[in-house]
Amino acid sequence: MVGSTVCAVTEQADINDVPADIRERHATLSQEIEEHRQRYYFASPTISDAQFDELMHELEGIEEQYTSLRTPESPTQQVGAPVAEPGAGAEASWPPVEHLERMLSLDNAFTADDIAEWANRVEREVGTGARYLCEPKVDGLAVDIVYRDGKLATLATRGDGRTGEDITYNAQYVDAIPDRLTGTDEYPVPAVVEIRGEAVFPTEEFEAINAERGDLGLPLFANARNSGAGVLRQRMDRRKDKLDAAKSKADAAGNEGRAQATYERVLEEYERARRNLNRLTLVCHGIGRRDGFDIRLQSQGYEALKAWGLPVSDRPTVVPDLDAVRTYIDHYGEHRHDIGFEIDGVVVKVDQVDLQRQLGSTSRAPRWAIAFKYPPEEVTTKLIDIRVNVGRTGRVTPYGVMEPVKVAGSTVENATLHNASEVKRKGVLIGDTVVLRKAGDVIPEILGPVLELRDGTEREFVMPAECPACGTPLAPAKEGDVDIRCPNTRSCPSQLRERLFYLAGRSGFDIEAMGWEAGIALVEAGVVVDEGDVFSLDAERLKRVPLFTNAEGELTVNGRRLLDNLEKAKQQPLWRVLVSLSIRHVGPTAARALAGALGSMDAIVEASEEQLADTDGVGPTIAASVTEWFAVDWHQEIVRKWREAGVRMRDETDTSMPRTLEGLTVVVTGSLQDFSRDDAKEAILARGGKASGSVSKKTSFVVVGENAGSKHDKALELKVPVLDEAGFKVLLDSGPGEAAKVAQVRSAEPAE
């Protein structure tokens, strides 16, 4: 008793040594984190995972400096969240169940230095013999599954790591969770085994669910992780009771009237919930308690899981050192969207179980594992305003103006909202706190509002009636169109700027020194009335544009470079000229098809709509759009001006090039050393082949370079012949017969 008193007095003295402002910040952070943790597990989160990580990181930093604040009650020492007591205001909660072994969390790393520091600690503790198992970190709901004598006993959420929610009832609806384990001679079914994994919606299933909800007028799910957790934790037993009660009432009413209508509505809701549960998949990644069975390696445990019939990823890889860990992390940082479900990082584990035991655990996380977290792709921020942009085809697109926020490694202030109907469907109001997503190079998108943070000051967005750039009344191009457009196509300055930027882009004439600012400057200086004037630019006209002149009024280096690049652009192939005309629906694929089939601008102009539609890769919609475009006088004038300026209007047919790839479809993926992506496509098309962007059973060859990703895996799965760059050169030089001899054809094999 005396010892306890002395300890308490000493601890109190240590806490009193902490500056008051630090103690106050620690208390505020602890309370804020706990509130967000409760929302994350039992309600709707109001901040993103990355913002939660930032709060936790700050709290850990304070406790690292002032260790007396690191008490067992601190959020840094907790795992998950306690299970809500059934009947205590938590209608959706399930009964609690204790895990056989505690489910720990993982410490996080955010930089290469963090990973190196962790690896150095491992080496100090166990020497240099550690090997590392790396695997993508699935962004799902952590679950604990117990099998006794091979039969499913319990399915539970993580909860606080010791006690989770018993959601076993819902397992019957999830095909990915086997009711019984199978066994092999090497891995017989143990008497008791506790499996750890993540339940998650595959990307395609999540998109299908949201499409269905959109059709039904229901709010869209914000992300796969939270929606998957909500679906798996829903009280399906109560839904079934409600359905049975509704059916009894309908039967008593002779299956007519209001009772029957109610039953049909409840049945539809039940069936939708059942379907969504079955859309979940499970990725198993660990073993807790095990009786009558042990493993020497973590990777061996994954082999056992697979042998028992449990779903595991084929991407975990055992690597020998820290450099290989970094390579693995970098690879999945570039290919995180090729996996088929959401990941938010890479988990790195010491593979040897005896070394894991030496390293041990803290109160919340094992010391033998760490999670490297990628920059966030979803964050929350304030929507300050909704404005509209007028695109190159006159389409008026709303976009959100937000408080600047860092997402996916870059600072974002604007995000697309597509059209007025989409704004309404997402339920976004000006002044909302919104969920923002940016995946890689994809344009940032507002997913929806955080309803819990509304305070009544928000207001609806009203689509303008007139073009903000030229004042022309806005209207749909035709009856039934979702989009509204500015019909002042030729003279609207916003449309012209967008078209100039587009024709100078990589899919168009590919003109360096003619970016967005240059387009604005050319229009404002009046030297370009429409895009037909671009190739008539000369030094005298360009001197009237301040952006391209120096203090003495002479052309800058960029000005001279623009003129040189315009001259080179005149020799671009016909398909690039077609793309640069900004004909609605005509992108690179359709333009290549038209240029390849008809060969000249004159032939395309003279072709009937039916002839255009019959061209492989074109079809009636694109054909109608092409015909309509060339029927406009000032459009014809653009083509005339370009022709007179020397722009090439016909592709020269190379009769010396044998059409050895006629009828073949070739997919190129990854980076090739001697070919750009466009060069590779041109080489295929010149020999009569089709260059496709997706792999199917109809694909003839897949050419793989560095970082080939999922298309390579798909080719192996479908047994499509795979060529490396040397094999691609054989295909081009000697044809498919010789290429087949050097191609790789096999089924996909799981990684080690």
Tell me the residue length of the chain.
752
Q: Is 135 annotated as a binding residue?
A: yes
Q: Is 114 annotated as a binding residue?
A: no
Q: Is 491 annotated as a binding residue?
A: no
Residue 468 backbone class (left: φ over 0; alpha: ψ -120 to 50; beta: rest):
alpha
Q: Which helix (H) or strand (E) is 668 found in, with range?
A: strand 665-669
Active-site residue, 137 included = yes
- Nearby residues of 360 by Cβ (< 8 Å), 6 or more positions away: 366, 367, 368
Residue 105 backbone class (left: φ over 0; alpha: ψ -120 to 50; beta: rest):
beta
Report the amino acid identity of residue 345: G
Q: What is the DSSP letter of 533?
A: G
Cα gap 561→540, rounded to integer Å: 15
Cα gap 133→209, rounded to integer Å: 34
Q: Is 664 annotated as a binding residue?
A: no
Of 326, 306, 312, 356, nearest in space to 109 by CA: 326
Asked if 27 and 66 touch (Cβ cutoff 8 Å), the reply is no
Asked if 636 and 606 touch (Cβ cutoff 8 Å), the reply is no
Asked if 68 and 207 touch (Cβ cutoff 8 Å), the reply is no
Q: Is 53 annotated as a binding residue?
A: yes
Pairing of strands 665-669, 701-704: parallel
Asked if 343 and 332 touch (Cβ cutoff 8 Å), the reply is yes
Cα gap 497→481, rounded to integer Å: 24
Q: Is 564 annotated as a binding residue?
A: no
Q: Is 50 annotated as a binding residue?
A: yes
Q: Is 7 annotated as a binding residue?
A: no
Cα gap 617→219, rounded to integer Å: 36
Q: Is 382 annotated as a binding residue?
A: no
Q: Is 134 annotated as a binding residue?
A: no
In Å, how far are 144, 608, 671, 711 from 748, measured between CA atoms? Answer: 30, 47, 21, 12
Asked if 369 and 316 touch (Cβ cutoff 8 Å), the reply is no
Cα gap 259→580, rounded to integer Å: 61
Q: Is 43 annotated as a binding residue?
A: no
Of 292, 223, 606, nearest in space to 450 by CA: 223
Any alpha helices (H) in 17-97, and if so which ranges? 20-42, 49-65
Q: Is 492 annotated as a binding residue?
A: yes
Paired tokens of 368:
């033998």
Angle CA 196–201–202, to nearest 5: 105
Cα gap 635→643, rounded to integer Å: 13
Place of tokens 């008193």: 5
Q: How many CB atoms lie within 10 A of CB 123?
A: 13
Angle CA 490–491–495, to nearest 5: 75
Q: Which helix (H) or strand (E) is 437 found in, with range?
A: strand 433-437
Q: Is 467 annotated as a binding residue?
A: yes
Q: Is 51 annotated as a binding residue?
A: yes
Catalytic member of 137, 438, 681, 714: 137
Place of tokens 């006209």: 541
Q: What is the dihedral of CA 247, 250, 255, 260, to 10 degrees?
A: -90
Q: Is 681 annotated as a binding residue?
A: no
Q: Is 158 annotated as a binding residue?
A: yes
Cα gap 245→239, rounded to integer Å: 10
Active site residues: 137
Numbered residues of the known binding site: 49-53, 105-106, 135, 158, 198, 349, 373, 467, 470, 486, 492
Numbered residues of the known binding site for Zn(2+): 467, 470, 486, 492
Numbered residues of the known binding site for NAD(+): 49-53, 105-106, 135, 158, 198, 349, 373
